[in-house]
Amino acid sequence: MNVDLLPAKNSGDRSFSEVSLRLSAGAKARGQIKALGLKSVAKSGLATLVGKVYGGKGVILMFHEFTHCLRKKLGSGCHVDDFEAILRSLRRSGRDIVSLSEAVHRIEDPASRPFAVLTFDDGYLCNTELALPIMERYEAPAAIFVPTEAITRTINAWWLGLRDIVQKNDSVDFAPMKTRFLCPDYASKVATLRHLVAWVWEDFHRADMLEEVFRENGASLPDLAEEFFMTENQMIEADRHPLIEIAAHTTTHRALGLLSEEEVRRDIGDNKEFLEERLERDVPHFAFPYGRPSLTGRREAGIAKEFGFQTSVTTDPGCLFPQHGDELHMLPRDDGEYAGDGYTTAVCSMNGVFRAISSRGGSPVVNCS
């Protein structure tokens, strides 16, 4: 979440310093170079060559929101056209799009066909309204990881709160930083939102410091939860669709590394129980909120295994290899949504390009220790 931001103004009053943020020329250039580089890798066939070593048997792709207009979400989420292009590419590549349970069988079967798994985090209503019609055209299943408090409307969806206050205000008073962010246009709004999200990711304790910020800037987290997340009945209805499987994502969607072992057990176990009671079936799959930055290591994976989950997924980049049959509770997952070019990013993900870059010539198998 490193964001290079350039203060354009700093002329504060007694209580708040005023700052207007823009992505610096350097940050923009790096973004353009990255996008062009990935596109070149994808189109030249280099991604396919990398995939022969790093592509493994399969890949799990991660999504959150879907949209017809990235601008309305300040660049977040996956454009529906990109999502369709990703599914079309997966089909053309010869990969089967399968469930997580089927993925486990294929990881362990040396004769299995290559595959991809689609996963959606947090239980957004747009998963069924926008993504599902495209999934139906390609007969592509997906798992939707749902936190309990998204359904009960009590979740601290701080990321939605930050987006909301930046979206609808030309200036945001941010007391924890003693800063007034001036954001009257799209460029400054995008830069401000990235800056504030990165600030929380630096220390997840900060997510609990934002209640007053939201209140003073006119954001209601329960209202945002009502607007963006599925209701309980919608979740149950979605789970009955042959292409959708509701899966677990903790009760509170907090960073698990901040919690005691007892709290982690309660956060994971209560969510499993909540979902199973309402869906009237076993819930065998789980996703860690935020992935690696919120984990302490194997503690959380061990707890998920104790609760009987068949798999647990992280946000560590990388494809799936036979060795992951012994690491089913720390499975890697590649981000399938990138506002600049979601399709190219997914092509590189499914061929293990990001894992190849991060390992710099090391083993293509994810180190789960």
Query: Which residues does the chain have with pLDDT short of 50?
Result: 1-3, 12, 360-369
The confidence score (pLDDT) of residue 1 equals: 39
Q: What is the pLDDT of residue 232?
A: 98
What is the rounded CA–CA span in Å between residue 153 and residue 268? 18
Q: Where are the alpha helices (DSSP H) in the chain?
A: 25-44, 46-54, 80-92, 100-108, 126, 132-138, 148-152, 158-168, 186-202, 211-216, 221-228, 232-239, 261-279, 298-306, 342-350, 353-359
Beta bridge partners of 145: 121, 247
pLDDT at 256: 97
Which is it for strands 5-10 and 17-23: parallel, antiparallel or unpaired?
Answer: antiparallel
pLDDT in tens, 299-335: 999 999 999 999 999 998 888 999 999 999 999 998 8
pLDDT at res. 292? 82
Looking at the chain, the domain(s) classified CATH 3.20.20.370 span: 57-154+229-359
**What CATH number has the domain spanning 57-154+229-359?**
3.20.20.370
Largest Cα–Cα separation, the chain: 69
**pLDDT computed for residue 237 by the predictor:** 98
